[in-house]
Amino acid sequence: MIEDKNQARTDLSDLGEFGLIDHLTKNFKINHSSTIKGIGDDAAVLKFNNKIVITTDLLIEGVHFDLSYVPLKHLGYKAVIVNLSDVYAMNAKATQITVSIAVSNRFPLEALEALYEGIETAAKIYDIDVIGGDTTSSTTGLLISVTAIGETENEVYRSEAKPNDLLVVTGDLGGAYMGLQVLEREKEVYKVNPNNQPDLEAYTYIIERQLKPEARKDIIKLLKDLNVKPSAMIDISDGLSSEIMHICKQSNVGCDLYEEKIPLDPQVISTCEEFNIDSTTVALNGGEDYELLFTIAQEDYPKIKANPNFSIIGHIKELTEGLHLITRANTKIPLKAQGWKNFNA
Ligand code: ADP
Ligand code: MG
């Protein structure tokens, strides 16, 4: 939030396009045998034995992120994570990414270094080769697009959930949305009094969920180790409600979701109380949690029941029975997708 006047500022034009690309990508290492050629030629060359999954996401300043409270290093990290999450949601192993950026000259080299530090950190932690990209100028804000590539022997679609399957979610929900609420509030406070240093101690988990989300690579391995193949799977980027609706719509099924089973971190509950927001609404319609939602056959229940990574939140029904939330008061209400973008509308 605070601009450091002493920070070094190197103009992008000092390096030129090729100098810039070399400078930003010099630390990237190739680890996967499927990468034959990475950065440096007209195109990368890959060689796989398995089926390939590929996914892409575009992040635009002012639409998907606000640089007044998102540090560039975190942005770089998150831009990679959101793509890896999509790869894992296909039950695939992520192996390579490309990174494209459009940047205006209001950004100094040091800003792009921070962005690439985040990208590099994510690539290291998730064991991903960065194999290329594109660099161009923008007249306004920053734009970043990541494409992720992965491989799988056993992809899982959204469309194969069956009546009586169990509905399972990993981790806990609503944290990223509540983290954003705290950051937005602090931004307003800062505008009024720039000297006021916020005390964010009580919100560390939820702010981290917003600024430094993780993708559930571990779950793909865990499911394999447990010998469980989900019938359908999706990652939670837009909120539980709309993701359940995607699975049900594409699988031609209905579902019962139990409010009391939705996993919430204590910090989400206490922050919801503070902001006077209903925590179930936040879990259903908040977004950016990047957990996995999947369905499994009843017979697989013993394999997952003791694992703290998983919450069984409901089950799949026939399409004719509809999609419902069973509230704590035991009333049955139709599930609605609000999507988190128009959550405040
Ligand atoms: P071309 O003119 O063929 O598009 P570029 O000069 O844009 O080639 O890119 C040269 C090499 O650097 C290519 O391997 C490309 O994939 C890579 N590259 C370009 N920009 C980026 C970036 N922002 N991040 C990672 N790799 C990049
Ligand atoms: Mg290019």
Is the Cβ atom of 115 under 6 angstroms away from ligand 1? no
Q: Which CATH superfamily is domain 166-334 in?
A: PurM-like C-terminal domain (3.90.650.10)
Per-run averaged pLDDT (10 residues), the chain, 345 residues: 63 87 94 97 97 97 92 97 98 98 93 97 98 94 97 97 98 97 91 85 96 97 97 96 97 98 98 97 95 98 96 98 96 78 41
In the reported structure, the alpha carbon of residue 101 is separated from the centroid of ligand 2 by a whole-number distance in angstroms of 10
Helices vs. strands in the chain: H and E counts, helices first: 10, 13
Closest by Cα among 11, 42, 180 to 111: 11
How much distance in Å is there from the Cα of 209 to the middle of ligand 1? 31
Q: Mutation test of ligand 1: which of 27, 117, 119, 134 has the most ligand atoms closer than 8 Å to its C-beta? A: 134
Nearest atom of ligand 1 to the alpha carbon of 18: 6
> Which pTM was predicted?
0.94
Residue 89 CA to ligand 1 center (angstroms) comes to 28
The answer to the question of whether 16 is labelled as a binding residue is no
For the CA of 99, the closest atom of ligand 1 is 24
Going from N- to C-terminal start, the domains of the chain cover 12-152, 166-334
Give yes or no for residue 135 CB within 6 A of ligand 1.
Answer: yes
Q: How far apart are CA 103 and CA 80, in angstroms?
A: 18
42 CB near ligand 1 (under 6 Å): yes
Distance 136 CA to ligand 1 centre (A): 10
Q: Does the annotation flag 205 for ligand binding?
A: no
- pLDDT for the residue numbered 140: 86
CB 160 within 8 A of CB 232: yes
56 annotated binding-site participant: yes
Residue 133: CB within 6 Å of ligand 1? yes
d(CA 211, CA 191): 20
Residue closest by Cα to atom 20 of ligand 1: 134
Give residues whose Cβ lies within 5 Å of ion ligand 2. 134
Pairing status of strand 253-258 against strand 323-326: parallel
Query: Ligand 1, atom 3: nearest CA belongs to which residue?
Result: 42
pLDDT at 185: 93
Locate the ligand 1 atom nearest the alpha carbon of residue 40 and give its number.
14
Q: Any bridge partners for residue 315, and if so which?
A: 166, 256
CA distances (Å), origin 112, targets 109, 265, 290, 302: 5, 34, 25, 48
Compute φ and ψ for 114, nearest 5 degrees. Answer: -65, -45
For the CA of 134, the closest atom of ligand 1 is: 20
Nearest residue by C-alpha to atom 9 in ligand 1 = 134
User: What's the CATH architecture for 12-152?
Assistant: 2-Layer Sandwich (3.30)
pLDDT for position 18: 84
| Torsions phi, psi for 244 (to 5 deg) | -60, -40
Is 237 marked as binding a ligand?
A: yes
